[in-house]
Amino acid sequence: MPDFQKTLNLICHPATSAPTVGSLSVAVEFQGDDIVFHYCLLGDMARLRIPPEQVPARADLLWEHTCFELFVAREADTAYREFNFSPSGQWAVFDFDDYRRRKQDDPPVPAPMISTRLTDGRLEMNVVVPQTALYGESGETPLQIGISAVIEAADTVDGGHSYWALHHPSSRPDFHHRAGFSLNVSPRGPSVI
């Protein structure tokens, strides 16, 4: 696949509130055998709950706090893969046979490289994922990718979350909904549907 970069804006699900977030975007860049996701969250960082840096490793329940996510499926296949990337440097990956039907074993994929930079009003996170981690060795099958995020507010009574994605196909936040996998990637390059 040729080198390529495209910046996409994520939108907040209308059923959730995000008064402390100004915007959330992700630049998707294809670099040789890797795909790099450059996340940029603008907002009041003092009022958001950003996980502190930890030893990079697989971890569960990352989506309970601020977390960036990918959902990847081959075109016309009900199976899909979910990635979670935390600003802490922790990550997770899960395989599903069908909608929310998780396989028992987590797939053996190389660890993504995650780097985070937090400044006043801005969180930037770069995630480098080998293309083979997204869809195995076959690069000829078109992919459908959902890019999403959970942002946790720090100053609400219940630790409120807002849910961000390229596309929200249902009345409730649901990143597993296949119609939300709206970035198409083929051997000719990516496009947004």
Kindly write down the DSSP assignment for every residue of 145-182, as one continuous string: EEEEEEEEBSSSTT--EEEEES---SSS--TT-GGG--
Which ranges of 38-109 would DSSP assign to H, the alpha helix?
Answer: none
pLDDT in tens, 42-72: 999 999 999 999 999 999 999 999 999 999 9
Is residue 147 very low, low, confident or very high in pLDDT (cuts 50, 70, 90)?
very high
pLDDT in tens, 164-177: 999 999 999 999 99
pLDDT in tens, 17-26: 888 899 999 9
pTM (2 decimals)?
Answer: 0.90
pLDDT at 179 over 70: yes
Q: Would you say 34 and 15 are in contact if contact means Cβ atoms under 8 Å apart?
A: no
Domain span holding position 119:
4-192
Q: Would you say 27 and 6 are in contact if contact means Cβ atoms under 8 Å apart?
A: yes
What's the total number of domains in the chain? 1
Instruction: Kindly report the CATH number assigned to the domain that includes residue 157.
Output: 2.60.40.1190
